Amino acid sequence: MNKKEESFLKKLFYLLIILAVACFGILAFYYIQIKKTAAITPPDNIPYIIVLGAKVNEQKLSKPLQYRAETAFAYWEKNQKSQIVVTGGQGSGETTTEAEALQNYFLEKGVPENHILLEDKSTSTYENIQLAKKLFSIEEAVIVSNDFHLFRAITIAKKEGIQAYPLAAKTPLWAKLPLYIREYAAIGKMKLKGY
């Protein structure tokens, strides 16, 4: 190997080190933002509780979605003037919309039907929030999702003109790694799109 090749390899090695450190720094920054957002406790008596959709297994709530529903219900029990906005269309392998599955959960828990509002066309977090705001003229809301998801959801809600407060549901342990990886990719996409 000549000196020119050696010099090139050295530069490449240092460049890779710099890139790795930069990537780690970005991941660490967003991890801190995710954790800080999830730690916030929303105030009482917010007029709307938006429950973000997630996978439904045929008609049954997946574990992450069940945790979102349970967390939203616990807030509603103490704030029964709030309207619960259930969101999410029908995805692959689902025999009902995510919104309808959530509605059924809340009805079974005794929430009056006139306290549940449906947004059942959305296919993404952005659409969950955008369509809910458009349908129900929402200006202030508690956004309920799993802890890993709230930083992005709140960022989107604020861009849509909603005074938004996060309410974190737990994430199943088995789902943490794939969901965090997917969320980092979604945050990157959000930043590139500018919302």
Domain residue ranges in the chain: 37-193
Dump pLDDT digits (tens) for 144-165: 999 999 999 999 999 999 999 9
Residue 119 is predicted with a pLDDT of: 97
Residue 1 is predicted with a pLDDT of: 65
Q: Which residue has the tokens 């590139």?
A: 192
Dump pLDDT digits (tens) for 90-109: 987 788 999 999 999 999 99
Residue 195 is predicted with a pLDDT of: 61
CA angle 192, 162, 101 (to 5 degrees): 90
* CATH code of domain 37-193: 3.40.50.620
Residue 58 is predicted with a pLDDT of: 80
Residue 132 is predicted with a pLDDT of: 97
Total-model pTM: 0.88
Spans in the chain with pLDDT lower than 70 = 1, 195
Residue 188 is predicted with a pLDDT of: 86
Question: What distance in Å separates the CA atoms of residue 102 and residue 120, rounded to the nearest whole number?
Answer: 10
Residue 7 is predicted with a pLDDT of: 76
